[in-house]
């Protein structure tokens, strides 16, 4: 039997998107949506019983004026809901963390519809002008960091609460079964340090004249003499993914436009051989647009076409270089270029759940007020965060990654991580290699 969902005549596309994500995408349930001109809150009906979700945010027909910095709450109260025999943690971005029952009606005071919309659409980033040196939205400016719940997938918490309440109103549909999955991704900025003799010697010289990389430069020089390329670590990633029985995703660059883009390497035969190796072993080649491409459609599509010509197949997945992203502009570039999913949305400076979820989800354009075909696979951590931004001791880094992974396991989600091929033999990041191998061995 299909559920009936009754909503007010406010922000219908936005509210429908949140219900679609919670009920259809994440729980796999069928439901029918009805608009009631007299309704003020959201109601889910089944078998003569109902769930009421209080509406604290969407009070206007066109909500774009609500997407304003002043409407982001300063505090997000946390609580635990007793539903049946289980206690469910909850963070109330909008509303209060309370639940009560009146007869056959179960009333949730947390506005999980607006809270889900807030986390998944990232409208917070569109209205907050603060950016770092690379024009990225920093975790330090995010509500999740300020209120200390970056380590919690709050949308997953909402999903579990909704399911618990649906059981209270005697739902007969079965929920979608998710399986925990590790998703290794690799931004291949520079496939090989020694793609040519000149480029190799130039890289070595650059490390030798930089005080904090002299040791690496000496090691690279020894590697050059012995014929071992320090960036040729792709086999480690291939074997690790195969050990787990999962697909590894390699994202390649095809444009070089400024100092933050590495030199072009697609022209070298070794890279073509690498493409063949990845494809022949059943792994995936994706797109890593250049530094300026995150908001320039012409650059994005030119580079995508060039990569596809070299790879010899369509490319439909990837991640932005330097994690540069603009809401919702960047999503629309991927949508307009027929991409299936992208995985930029993790913070460069922190580990955790930037989107509040560890499931892939369809994205929403807050300005056009519509859901796109593109999916986001949220990035949860990368090794650069550990060594460059947080500069964590190894054991502390291990504990943080382990806690993150255990949280994903709790919800049978996708643990999407990023490890660069150039990091394996670079001292700033190589000290964390044991974390990578622990992940591959399922020992976290």
CA atoms of 413 and 393, how far apart (whole Å): 27
Q: Taking Cα atoms as reference points, which of 191, 179, 241 lies closest to residue 417? A: 241
Model pLDDT, residue 340:
98
> According to CATH, where is 3.20.20.370 located in the chain?
181-192+231-440
Query: Before 307, cis peptide (omega within 30)?
Result: no
Model pLDDT, residue 124:
98
| Widest pairwise Cα distance in the chain | 79
pLDDT in tens, 77-132: 999 999 978 899 999 999 999 999 999 999 999 999 999 999 999 999 999 999 99
Helix, strand or coil, per DSSP, at residue 230: coil
Single pTM value for the model: 0.95
CA atoms of 272 and 43, how far apart (whole Å): 56
Model pLDDT, residue 263:
85
Please tell me the total number of residues recorded for the chain in this structure. Answer: 444
Contact 48, 74 (CB under 8 A): no
Is 366 buried (19+), middle (13-18) or exposed (0-12) by CB count in 10 A?
Answer: buried
Contact 12, 29 (CB under 8 A): no
CA atoms of 197 and 29, how far apart (whole Å): 58
Contacts of 194 (CB under 8 A, 6+ apart): 200, 223, 224, 229, 231
Distances (CA, A) of 372 to 101, 293, 329, 337, 422: 37, 20, 12, 12, 34
pLDDT in tens, 354-365: 999 999 999 999
Return the number of other C-beta atoms located less than 10 Å from residue 212's C-beta. 9
Contact 260, 322 (CB under 8 A): yes
pLDDT in tens, 171-228: 999 999 999 999 999 999 999 987 766 676 777 677 777 767 777 667 766 766 776 8
Beta-bridged to residue 285, according to DSSP, are: 250
Model pLDDT, residue 137:
98
Q: Residue 382 CA to chain centroid, in angstroms?
A: 11
3-state secondary structure 331-381: HHHHHHCCCCEECCCCCCCCCCCCCCCCCCEEEEECCCCEEEEEEECCCCE
Distances (CA, A) of 192 to 188, 234, 285, 320: 9, 10, 16, 20
Model pLDDT, residue 217:
66
CA atoms of 288 and 165, how far apart (whole Å): 42
Contacts of 298 (CB under 8 A, 6+ apart): none
| pLDDT per residue of the chain (444 residues) written in tens, 0 to 9 | 679 999 999 999 999 999 999 999 999 999 999 999 999 999 999 989 999 999 999 998 888 889 999 999 999 999 999 997 889 999 999 999 999 999 999 999 999 999 999 999 999 999 999 999 999 999 999 999 999 999 999 999 999 999 999 999 999 999 999 999 999 999 999 999 877 666 767 776 777 777 677 776 677 667 667 768 899 999 999 999 999 999 999 999 999 989 999 988 898 889 999 999 999 999 999 999 999 999 999 999 999 999 999 999 999 999 999 999 999 999 999 999 999 999 999 999 999 999 999 999 999 999 999 999 999 999 999 999 999 999 999 999 999 999 999 999 999 999 999 999 999 999 899 999 999 999 999 888
> Helix and strand tally (H, E) in the chain?
15, 17
CA atoms of 385 and 133, how far apart (whole Å): 16
CA atoms of 155 and 112, how far apart (whole Å): 8
Pick the CATH number of 181-192+231-440 from 3.20.20.370, 3.40.50.880, 3.40.50.800, 1.10.357.10: 3.20.20.370
């Amino acid at each position: 039997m299909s559920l009936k969902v009754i909503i007010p005549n406010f922000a219908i596309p936005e509210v429908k998107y949140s219900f679609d994500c919670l009920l259809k995408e994440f729980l796999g349930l069928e439901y029918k949506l009805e608009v009631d001109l007299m309704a003020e809150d959201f109601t889910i009906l089944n078998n003569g019983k109902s769930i009421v979700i209080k509406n604290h945010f969407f009070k206007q027909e066109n909500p774009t004026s609500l997407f304003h910095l002043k409407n982001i709450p300063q505090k997000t109260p946390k609580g635990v809901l007793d539903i049946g025999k289980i206690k469910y943690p909850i963070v109330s971005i909008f509303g209060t963390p309370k639940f009560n029952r009146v007869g056959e009606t179960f009333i949730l005071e947390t506005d999980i519809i607006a809270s889900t919309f807030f986390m998944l659409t990232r409208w917070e980033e569109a209205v907050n002008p603060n950016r770092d040196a690379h024009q990225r939205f920093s975790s330090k400016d995010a509500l999740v960091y300020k209120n200390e719940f970056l380590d919690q997938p709050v949308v997953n918490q909402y999903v579990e609460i909704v399911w618990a309440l649906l059981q209270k109103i005697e739902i007969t549909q079965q929920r979608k079964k998710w399986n925990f999955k590790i998703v290794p991704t690799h931004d291949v900025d520079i496939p090989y340090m020694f793609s040519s003799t000149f480029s190799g010697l130039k890289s070595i010289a650059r490390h030798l004249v930089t005080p904090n990389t002299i040791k690496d430069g000496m090691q690279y020089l020894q590697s050059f003499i012995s014929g071992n390329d320090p960036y040729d670590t792709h086999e480690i990633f291939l074997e690790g993914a195969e050990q787990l029985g999962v697909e590894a995703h390699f994202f390649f660059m095809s444009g070089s436009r400024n100092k933050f883009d590495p030199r072009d390497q697609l022209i070298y035969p070794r890279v073509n051989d690498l493409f063949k190796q990845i494809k022949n072993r059943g792994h995936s080649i994706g797109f890593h647009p250049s530094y300026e491409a995150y908001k320039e459609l012409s650059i994005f599509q030119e580079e995508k076409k060039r990569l596809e010509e070299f790879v010899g197949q369509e490319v439909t997945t990837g991640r932005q270089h330097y994690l540069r992203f603009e809401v919702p502009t960047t999503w629309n570039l991927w949508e307009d270029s027929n991409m299936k999913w992208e995985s930029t949305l993790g913070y460069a400076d922190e580990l955790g759940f930037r989107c509040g979820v560890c499931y892939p989800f369809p994205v929403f354009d807050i300005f056009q007020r519509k859901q796109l075909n593109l999916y986001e696979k949220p990035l949860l951590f990368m090794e650069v965060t550990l060594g460059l931004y947080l500069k964590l001791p190894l054991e502390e880094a291990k504990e943080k990654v382990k806690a993150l992974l255990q949280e994903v396991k709790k919800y049978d989600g996708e643990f999407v991580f990023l490890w660069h091929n150039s990091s394996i033999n670079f001292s700033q990041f190589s000290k964390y290699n044991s974390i990578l191998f622990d992940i591959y061995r399922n020992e976290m």
